[in-house]
Amino acid sequence: MNVVAISGASGAILGIRLLEELRGEAYLIISKNAEKIIEYETGYSVDEVKRMAKRVYNNDDLSADIASGTTKFDSLIIAPCSTTTLSKIACGIGDNLITRVASIALKERRKLIIVPRETPLSPVVLKRMYELSSMGALILPPEPAFYLKPKKIEDVVNYIVGKILDHLGVEHELYSPYEP
Ligand SMILES: Cc1cc2nc3c(=O)[nH]c(=O)nc-3n(C[C@H](O)[C@H](O)[C@H](O)COP(=O)(O)O)c2cc1C
């Protein structure tokens, strides 16, 4: 099972498109600020987003089953990931369900895909990203592939979600490969 987490960074649509592509077969955690950003940035309500998941967890619920390493999940994808959540994970802080599940992914050597959104990046965050990458997490910034000549934001979103699905081993047709 894939766990999708939407934290309080800009780009909530990335997590939403990912949920759509996983077709109801994902668990979902949304942070408090992410709920506000979903309503502010996207045409979706938080309830609509929650209905896209097989199961929804409260980010404050540190006694949820997935807060334990004994509960099996295949991967955690944090899309988008705030620099706060990213930095906490790198430091081993598990003070909410998203950061706790991330710490489990690291200790149990499960897949951890982090889609950080911020610009510019401070030395603090760059250092934390490097540390997480060295620990086995995949840092996948939501940057457009300009050479694919995206025409609209949906093209960029599909490309990024396609890259996430590539790493999950899920077939998709969200972007066409580069053709010289
Ligand atoms: C509209 C809005 C956009 C934000 N965008 C970002 C962002 O792109 N990157 C980021 O690191 N934080 C961003 N923040 C700040 C985070 O939401 C804030 O640091 C929060 O504490 C992150 O906690 P969370 O990861 O638990 O949601 C944004 C906040 C708001 C209200």
- The ligand 1 atom nearest the CA atom of 11: 8
What's the whole-number mean pLDDT along residues 42-56? Answer: 98
Is 33 in contact with 40 (CB distance < 8 Å)? Answer: no
Q: What is the domain range of residue 84? A: 2-168
What pLDDT is attached to residue 10? 98
> Within a domain: residue 132?
yes
What's the order of all strands across the beta sheet hosting 111-116? 55-58, 26-30, 2-6, 75-81, 111-116, 138-139
Q: What is the residue with the minimal CA distance to atom 19 of ligand 1?
A: 84
Using the mean position of ligand 1's atoms as its centre, give its distance from the Cα of residue 123 in Å: 18
In a domain, 143, yes or no: yes
Nearest-angstrom CA–CA distance, 88 and 121: 16
CB of 31 sitting under 6 A from ligand 1 = yes
Q: Give me the number of domains the chain comprises.
A: 1
Residue 179 in this model has a pLDDT that exceeds 90:
no
- For the domain that residue 141 is a member of, what is the CATH number? 3.40.50.1950
Helices (H), 51-122: 83-90, 97-107
- Domain-located, residue 15: yes
pLDDT class of 36 with cuts at 50, 70, 90 = very high
CA dihedral 44, 176, 117, 14 (to 10 degrees): 20
Rounded to the nearest 5°, which phi and psi values hold at 47? -65, -40
Q: Is the pLDDT of residue 134 over 90?
A: yes
- pLDDT band (50, 70, 90) for residue 101: very high
**Residue 156 DSSP symbol:** H
| Domain-embedded: residue 80 | yes
Residue 177 inside a domain? The answer is: no
Q: What value does the mean pLDDT take over residues 83-92?
A: 98
The DSSP secondary-structure symbol of 67 reads G
* 61: confidence class by pLDDT, cuts 50, 70, 90: very high
Distance 8 CA to ligand 1 centre (A): 4
Evaluate whether residue 63 is within a structural domain: yes
Residue 37 lies in a domain: yes
Q: Is the peptide bond before 177 cis (omega within 30 degrees of 0)?
A: no
Tell me how far apart the alpha carbons of residues 43 and 162 are, in angstroms, rounded to a whole number.
Answer: 21
Phi/psi for 42 (5° steps) reads: -120, 170
> Is 178 within a domain?
no
158 C-alpha to center of ligand 1: Å? 22
